[in-house]
Amino acid sequence: MRVSGFEGFAPLTAISRADSQDVGTIVSSTKSARNAGSSITAGAVGTAEIEVRTIGGNLIGDNALAVDLNETVIAFKERLARKAGMSSEIKSLRLVFGCVQLQDHKRLEECGVSSEGANMQLVTVGASSLAMHLEHHGLENHGILDVVDSVFQAEHQVSQKHMPQPEAVCRAMDAHRRGQVVSWMTMACNAMRFDDSLLHGSVLNLDRFYATRSEPLEESQLFRLSLAAICTEMKLATVDLFPSGYWQRVLNHLSQGHESLEKILQTEAKMLSQLGFVTGIPTPLTFLRGLGLRFAGSSQGKQRSGAAYWKLASFLLELALYDPELEYRYPHSVLAAGALGAALLSAGAESADASTLPPESVVSEHKFLLEEELDDVHETLLEDLASYCPDVHSSNLRKQVRDCEKDLLLMWKNCMGGVGPWVEFYTHLNGKHAPHMAPAPGDASTVNLFPSPLLGFSNMLVLEKRRGLHPGLSNSLGLSSVLGLSSGDIAIR
């Protein structure tokens, strides 16, 4: 039985490709624009302080930027793109002043900017990498390119707006007790063969409700609240999956006669009232399914199939559900990217024919795949994440994803080693995902080809060394203690 949760979206805010054509057109090429700017005598007009913001209202730079009014628009845009860390091509950026798009070949003074200063807006018009992937690979009907990025960004904004704070969740619910509730809900949804979106949506609504409480909840309320949260998610699914009469029978079955349907519905009404009747909030699984579109059903040569990465990322997201500090430490789009990134690091250096090759060949090919293909796929993941939050500086996104990958891998490693408060819940979760998590018993020839948090940490260090970010990384990530190796001793496993 499969269930797809209804996702809520905010109003579209980004400028579409079609609308951008009405704003104006680029009159000359980048080269001619530079030549035009260099032909003007510097200092003939003066300077000005210009404040530039993104479409989301974020200020580029710490304050207003000092510019020479002789500077061309294209040169100013290049400077802004570098300062904002934007990966977009310059031709996809539009600089707007007074509701008019500035033409690239003109000088700022010719555009009406005076020494008194100005307020401008920098708008990205081109489609994101993830939108282009959807368009080019036929995963959606043609014509969505103008709106898909607005949908991605709206999902991120709605998620951020309604995400509870972890300390507020823990104020109403002891972390261990909450873990027991999540564990029961996981087993219930798995036994009923519900889609994982129902589990993630139910836990999110429960946590949002916990965060509205100023005092701890009574233990007698927890079972009824859990059933009420599941009830809401079933109603948000399609009527074909949960027709009237069926979802009522499901609730009666899950309650095992301990709670009446009437009391469950009354509790649901109170919970929804406390939440302002706002439901359908995107969950980390929502973003994983978006970011995972590039891996859907793919098998790239000798790499592990895209489905295997996605399943491992789903396991890590489900593991994070137990820890409210981790679940709500990062934006859910970043948490999903971190889970997929950790999955790539932990299972991405695999050779499909490794079992038939001698050990030295396995190691050699393993290293090639890691440093070439895995690095490229991981970078593409970061580009796809920017589809959801284009206003966030690329260096900040990279750091958040790296930190999230480390936290997820560390939680996984601790649970595997029987360390930490979530070990008792890990056993059932590992059983659910076991076919994708470990080699067959006694299959020593392929043991190193299966996902491992230690392999993930090792590959993380190797990728950072490849990108020239190695100095001090081992200490900052705690990799030396995690791996039990010095940075010079780390080998590809």
**Across 168-176, average pLDDT:** 92
CB proximity list for 262: less than 8 A, separation 6 or greater: none
Domains assigned to the chain: 17-126 (3.10.20.90), 163-274 (1.10.472.10), 284-483 (no CATH)
* pLDDT tens per residue, range 387-438: 898 878 788 899 999 999 999 999 999 999 999 999 999 988 887 886 555 4
pLDDT of residue 41: 38
Return the higher-pLDDT residue of 25 and 122: 122
Angle 315-321-323 from CA coordinates, rounded to 5°: 120
Average pLDDT of the chain to the nearest whole number: 77
pLDDT at residue 53 tops 50? yes
* pLDDT tens per residue, range 300-345: 444 445 777 888 999 999 999 999 999 999 999 999 999 999 999 9
Whole-angstrom distance, CA of residue 168 vs CA of residue 225: 17
Whole-model pTM above 0.75? no
Going by C-alpha positions, the residue among 285, 279, 364 that lies closest to residue 317 is: 285
* pLDDT tens per residue, range 468-480: 654 444 444 555 5
Q: What percent of the chain has pLDDT over 90?
A: 41
Return the higher-pLDDT residue of 276 and 12: 276
Angle 479-484-488 from CA coordinates, rounded to 5°: 70
Going by C-alpha positions, the residue among 380, 372, 336, 397 that lies closest to residue 459 is: 372
Whole-angstrom distance, CA of residue 50 vs CA of residue 61: 11
pLDDT of residue 143: 59
pLDDT at residue 11 tops 50? no
Backbone angles phi, psi at 125, to 5 degrees: -100, -35
Q: pLDDT band at residue 160, thresholds of 50, 70 and 90?
A: very high
Return the higher-pLDDT residue of 481 and 269: 269
